[in-house]
Structure 1
């Protein structure tokens, strides 16, 4: 009968993440955002110690950049030392964001710390009572874009009680992130391992339960695309069962909220609407608001300046709170049915020419800017379509707004 093993599975810490696209924040709130990944990591280390786990698996993208700050390097190693002092072993691999790290820095001074240093699958043994109990297989990226299927290199090699695979890569059918180290789920299931610890996808996904093949997501959301709770799993392997327990670690949450404003006649009403729809927060929260069913008559005057003013007023009221609710963006969803359809050649031509090519031309100079591009997330196809549709709806609303008002 195999003895019980308990460990933490974490990935995608992204220390030093710049939190792209977040604007309108006060210095104190910016500091809270900037430090959030480090605090989330401290929570993870304290959890490992409190729960007395056997080891911690760090599955790639420890750092957000290939050249992390000295602060990030030192803080990470300090926390590894803290684990080591409690005789908790750490196993570390690096991913596409922080590839080639073992050339740039060294971990040999940290006891009970094992680093996968090559872009080739190797393994370490976790021992108990001087006997091998778990064989942990993994690899680190030596280049940013690993295109080959690394899953074929994972081999069940001996009769150690447990085998675990650490793989930072993209599962077939889940290509929302760059398709690095791509693999097919069946390849992992056929390997004969007891658990697959994945990284790279920033959301929790369990691809299989026999054996468990798991993405834990990242430990701290980094943009409005990464909403909800973020954290790690404590995994318990026994002779007959595998149990996963999720532990939230995030310091702040990203939340997307839709608010219907069918009856709103002026943006001067928006402040009270926001107060009604954004609850008193029990934790630091960054909101992206989508105003649904915005009508054409709201576009008289400088509507976007009005919205900006309302955001500033709301956010100023949050600065001195311990647990704040901060608005980072308000998007408009224009109600198509309440915007009079205009069938004239100009609007038809306009709709045909607001397309991806025009969007790419408009954004090109900004994304190519040497400094600005480091603070921008590349737009997804869905976001580009959304921008095109909103732009056309807003233009139509402005052009026909007076006519709608006159018919009321």
Structure 2
């Protein structure tokens, strides 16, 4: 049995930290996953939660999701879907019907669905979907033992090990079920916890922290599994540290920096170091964003930063401003200014949402605010 395992698509989430337009759309990753399923003639595609970034996705993105799933029908490929903490399931917000080739787990209680594949083999899939943004109970204990009446048994699970808020689990409980495979979601970096227990990570990174963009292409047999990881992402985030010690002029520096920007499908964060010979003029070009704008012709530059210069005589050659520490946002006060709806309240109480707001504001501040002589020079 051949399968694809993906998770954390977050289809309605944009790239983060960008201030320039790009021709890339992150949701296109789903089309690439469906293309792979068709080209590899798999029997089933497993979606391990957080298909959407929002608990109430737009009609447009809902329809896009279904349109892509329907492409599998002509090839007799099935799909199995659970919902995670971001897109926790509420039937009232959906404008779509899922196609007949799609099995959807809608309940927060663990259940098992049995599928007959195009090969004639039978597959049992056990799983559950979030109906709330948080789950503090161990759901693995509710998964049944392996169904020996089926050729294969897979566990679909969205959550964390040793977590308190996202279906806390442990590996021992999972392995005790004796499943052929555990398809995990929630962690955005790929992690093969055990031979048959895998987080593929998000297939398309949205920021510079999400660097492993993979899906699992697997082949299951009674004797064991063959597991392959495929990188289908259209773009990747990369942080480069560029040593300018060999550059004695600005011309040399610009030429050398550009020579390191080799891929138009990479979103770069650049750290420049050892630029003593051109420090004054380089500092000015960075401060007024001239260098940044020049490098953005033909490339996506998320951030440009000068690293501190070393000094042989012990004197400080430049003042290094530490990362800006922002105060915690009072989301209760923000909520008081909005319509008092339960949906809005649940979003504002979501720990992931609160952390994301704080992280994004910190990222914005680090990219857009500089210290220098202004009206307030204290």
TM-score by length of 2: 0.79
Name the CA shift for 1:376/1:314 in 2 (closer, same or farther; >3 Å).
farther
More helix by share: 1
1:214 pairs with 198, 203, 224, which one? 198
Q: Distance in 2 between matches of 1:171 and 1:252?
A: 29
Match status 1:275 vs 2:264: no
- Structure 1 unaligned regions, length at least 5: 319-324, 343-349, 396-408
Q: Distance in 2 between matches of 1:241 and 1:130?
A: 18
Q: Distance in 2 between matches of 1:374 and 1:59?
A: 23
Give yes or no for contact 2:160–2:166 (8 Å, CA) kept in 1. Answer: yes
- Structure 2 unaligned regions, length at least 5: 339-352, 374-378
Q: Distance in 2 between matches of 1:190 and 1:377?
A: 39
1:21 pairs with 17, 21, 43, which one? 17
**How far 1:278 sits from its partner (Å)?**
2.0
**How far 1:232 sits from its partner (Å)?**
1.3
Q: Report 1:213-362 matches (<5 A).
A: 213-227=197-211, 230-262=213-245, 270-279=253-262, 281=263, 284-293=265-274, 298=279, 303=284, 305-306=286-287, 308-316=289-297, 318=298, 325-337=299-311, 340-341=314-315, 359-361=325-327
Q: Distance in 1 between matches of 2:117 and 2:194?
A: 28
Determine helix, strand or coil for the equivalent of 1:328. Answer: strand
CA deviation profile, 1:207-253 (whole Å, cap 9, x unmatched): 111xx10011112111111235x231111111112001222211112
Give yes or no for contact 1:311–1:327 (8 Å, CA) kept in 2. Answer: yes
Which residue matches 1:110? Answer: 99
Which residue matches 1:40? Answer: 29
Which residue matches 2:130? Answer: 141
Name the CA shift for 1:59/1:287 in 2 (closer, same or farther; >3 Å).
same
Decide which moves more: 296-305 or 106-115: 296-305
Which residue matches 2:156? Answer: 166
**Which 4+ stretches in 1 moved above 6 angstroms?**
129-132, 265-268, 368-371, 373-376
Give yes or no for contact 2:26–2:206 (8 Å, CA) kept in 1. Answer: no
TM-score by length of 1: 0.74
RMSD, aligned CA: 3.7
Determine helix, strand or coil for the equivalent of 2:270. Answer: strand
Name the CA shift for 1:376/1:202 in 2 (closer, same or farther; >3 Å).
closer
**How far 1:256 sits from its partner (Å)?**
1.4
Determine helix, strand or coil for the equivalent of 1:258. Answer: strand
Corresponding residue pairs, total: 348
Q: Distance in 2 between matches of 1:77 and 1:251?
A: 21
